[in-house]
Amino acid sequence: MIHLSTIDCMDKTKTVEYLFQILKDTILSIGEDNVVQIVTDNASNCFHANELLMEHFPKLFWKPCAEHCIDLALHNIGKIGWVQVNISQARKLVKFILKHRLSLSIFRKYKTRNLQRLGDTRFSTHFIASQMVVEQKDALRSFVCNEEWVNSPLSRSEGGKLIEKTIFNEMF
């Protein structure tokens, strides 16, 4: 399997013609009989480059990358109002806990799993990290009810009050 990222095209504009030429040259260097399928993301330039490839190499198959399809679907789901709000709240909550040594130390006393930062580029990480927050709901509630947390300056900070409000919000 050859991944486009392994081919020297990082500094080039990925036009249909350029992608077609790169893929064609790669197929020819490997040997047409040694290539069965091309998998790319769903960008229109990749789709059209693959159409040209299929004309040039009729034995080949093209399939969109399943991971890319799922990521695009999750991106669209993440645009739904209530989903977007929950992801934003989860992001703030995780960031706050992981940012402060004291809050992380207290949370670790109750957690069953580590919290994971929400990624910026892959939307699946939003849902994975949000699921971890949901799974840690009891630990998070115990964390903010802990005497050490309640007596800390962090609990009285704007961020601390926000995460407490989030944790006890029934809609979260």
What's the CA gap between 116 and 129, in Å, rounded?
5
Give the pLDDT band of residue 152 (cuts 50, 70, 90): very high
User: Which two three-digit tokens encode residue 154?
Assistant: 């962090």
Q: Assess whether pLDDT exceeds 80 at residue 156.
A: yes
Stated pTM of the model: 0.64
Is 90 exceeded by the pLDDT of residue 61?
no
Q: Give the torsion sign (CA, 160, 161, 164, 169).
A: negative
In DSSP terms, 12 is beta-bridged to none
Average pLDDT, the chain: 85
Question: Sorting pLDDT into bands at 50, 70 and 90, what band is 159?
Answer: very high
**Residue 170 clears pLDDT 80, i.e. is over it:** yes
